[in-house]
Amino acid sequence: MSLWVILTLAAAALQTLRFMLQKQLRGAGLSTGGATFARFLFAAPVAACVAMLALAATGTALPRPAPAFWGYVAMGGLAQIVATMLTVALFQLRNFAVGVAFTKTETVQVALFSALFLAEAVGGVGWLAIALGFAGVLLLSKAPARGSRLLGRPALYGIAAGALFGLSAIGYRGATLELMPLPFLIRALLALAAATALQTVAMAGWLAWREKGEIARVLARWRRTALVGLTGMLGSLGWFAAFALQNAAYVRALGQIEIVFTLLASALVFRERLSPREAAGMALVVASVVVIVLTFG
């Protein structure tokens, strides 16, 4: 099994754990913005320190990346923040299930953006795997209420969020490629450190403007929020390292296994039963993962 496959699976598992921790933070009196900010605030310094230690340990000089690197970092980091906000906004809408389903177009859009921005086309087998995973995720998505419109604000939010998540993946892949020929782990660490620093500054500015006092609440709960930052940093490192090694479309398609991890945790930890629809969706996602691993892993 290829290293990028192992890294992607580990990243998906860690992201599932981070989401569970962030859910607990909401119960601790933090807003969605505060819980998101906690991830970046504590991840940024850790990522920077680990990157510097890796450079020192390998005797690698701190590179001076081209402007394109910073462009990719900004595209990836800011697109991820806005996509997350759009997804959160969906939960305030009555027909949010329709929009959430449309966010799952991310994998298809990543494949298109990968060809457009990075000249990395996806072959026929790759498209088959993406289609299987997409169909499975749609089955796993909550069904829209009877009479819900398929077009409208929820759908637009969902498509926009999916596109921005896709641009985020391409931005991170592009940033790691700009640091060639450094070793893949050094490239991943430097890109991660730059992205989390940018996101910390951007989120701090947003909270200071829109949610006064929230930054202080995050800092006051540092014992709980720091764990979110640590798991978020480790998960992001897995994604960045995988992007440094493989086409972002294949990484994101394989990463859909995260939703299976979430459902398994729900069934095993919270004793919630899976419906036949969910079981069918999981089977399609797993089939997509098997195709990707056997073909590209």
Domain boundaries along the sequence of the chain: 3-296
**pLDDT tens, 195-208?**
999 999 999 999 99
Backbone angles phi, psi at 10, to 5 degrees: -65, -40
For residue 156, the one-letter residue type is L
Average pLDDT (175-183) is: 96
pLDDT confidence of 96, banded at 50, 70, 90? low
Contacts of 103 (CB under 8 A, 6+ apart): 87, 90, 158, 159, 161, 162, 165
At 100 the pLDDT is 58
The answer to whether the CB of 193 falls within 8 A of the CB of 44 is yes
Peptide bond into 181 cis (omega under 30): yes
Question: By percentage, how much of the chain surpasses pLDDT 90?
Answer: 42
Instruction: Answer left, alpha or beta for residue 61, where phi above 0 means left and psi between -120 and 50 means alpha.
Output: beta
Average pLDDT (255-259) is: 82
pLDDT confidence of 105, banded at 50, 70, 90? confident
For helices 96-103 and 67-90, angle between their N-to-C axes, nearest 10 degrees: 150
**More confident position, 262 or 25:** 262
- The answer to whether residue 267 scores a pLDDT higher than 80 is no
> What distance in Å separates the CA atoms of residue 31 and residue 48, rounded to the nearest whole number?
26
> What distance in Å separates the CA atoms of residue 286 and residue 273, rounded to the nearest whole number?
19
Mean pLDDT taken over the chain = 84
At 23 the pLDDT is 62
Average pLDDT (12-31) is: 72
**More confident position, 18 or 68:** 68
pLDDT confidence of 158, banded at 50, 70, 90? confident
**More confident position, 259 or 57:** 57
> What distance in Å separates the CA atoms of residue 103 and residue 74, rounded to the nearest whole number?
21
**More confident position, 12 or 69:** 69
At 239 the pLDDT is 95
**pLDDT tens, 214-253?**
999 889 888 777 887 788 889 999 999 999 999 999 999 8
- The answer to whether residue 181 scores a pLDDT higher than 80 is yes
At 161 the pLDDT is 87
Q: Which residue has the tokens 């909550």?
A: 142
